[in-house]
């Protein structure tokens, strides 16, 4: 079971490396049970991609720099009925699209507090893994 999961993760990493030859890729286990990778593509200097893998979920978070200190963030979370290394079905997909200006998540009074908190948590997670990447001399061109 662990061997199958290891092979799956290695295939994903290999695919990422081929597709991102001009990218800085930072991988960590400290962020999620199954790992995470932060991709800073030098060809697309205004984009940052964070892929996170858990036992029964995966997510892709894309940060697009629109202006200095202004970002559009698109996050997609997929949840599965079984661990991803077994035969699984996607049972739920959740998408978040939000805007960050001058290091502050733009809030709306129309959103409930739980949704606002989920959005803030996503942004804090991006900041956390970017700081960890900087400590390892990766993605140095990105700062919030």
Task: Give the pTM.
Answer: 0.76
Q: Break the chain into its structural domains and give their ranges.
A: 2-135
Using CA atoms, how far residue 92 sits from 29, 32, 35, 78, 105, in Å, is: 24, 19, 20, 6, 25
Separation CA 6–CA 117 (nearest Å): 33
Virtual torsion, Cα 1, 76, 52, 62, nearest 10 deg:
150
pLDDT digit string, tens, across residues 98-123: 999 988 888 766 778 888 888 999 99
DSSP 124: H
Average pLDDT along the chain: 81
- Residue 58 has which token pair? 């995966």
pLDDT digit string, tens, across residues 8-21: 555 555 555 445 45
Mean pLDDT calculated for residue range 35-52? 86
* R_g of the chain, CA atoms, integer Å: 16
Tell whether the model's pLDDT for residue 59 goes beyond 90.
Answer: yes
Tell whether the model's pLDDT for residue 81 goes beyond 70.
Answer: yes
């Amino acid at each position: 079971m662990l061997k199958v999961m290891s092979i799956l993760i290695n295939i994903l990493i290999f695919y990422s490396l081929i597709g991102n030859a001009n990218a800085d890729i930072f991988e960590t286990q400290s962020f999620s049970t199954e790992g995470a990778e932060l991709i800073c593509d030098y060809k697309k200097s205004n984009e940052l991609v964070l892929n996170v893998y858990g036992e029964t979920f995966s997510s892709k978070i894309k940060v697009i720099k629109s202006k200095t200190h202004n970002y559009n963030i698109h996050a997609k979370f997929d949840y599965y009925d079984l661990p991803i290394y077994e035969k699984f079905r996607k049972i739920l997909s959740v998408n978040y699209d939000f805007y960050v200006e001058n290091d502050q998540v733009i809030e709306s009074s129309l959103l409930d507090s739980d949704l606002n908190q989920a959005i803030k948590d996503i942004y804090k997670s991006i900041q956390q893994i970017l700081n960890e990447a900087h400590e390892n001399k990766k993605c140095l061109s990105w700062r919030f």
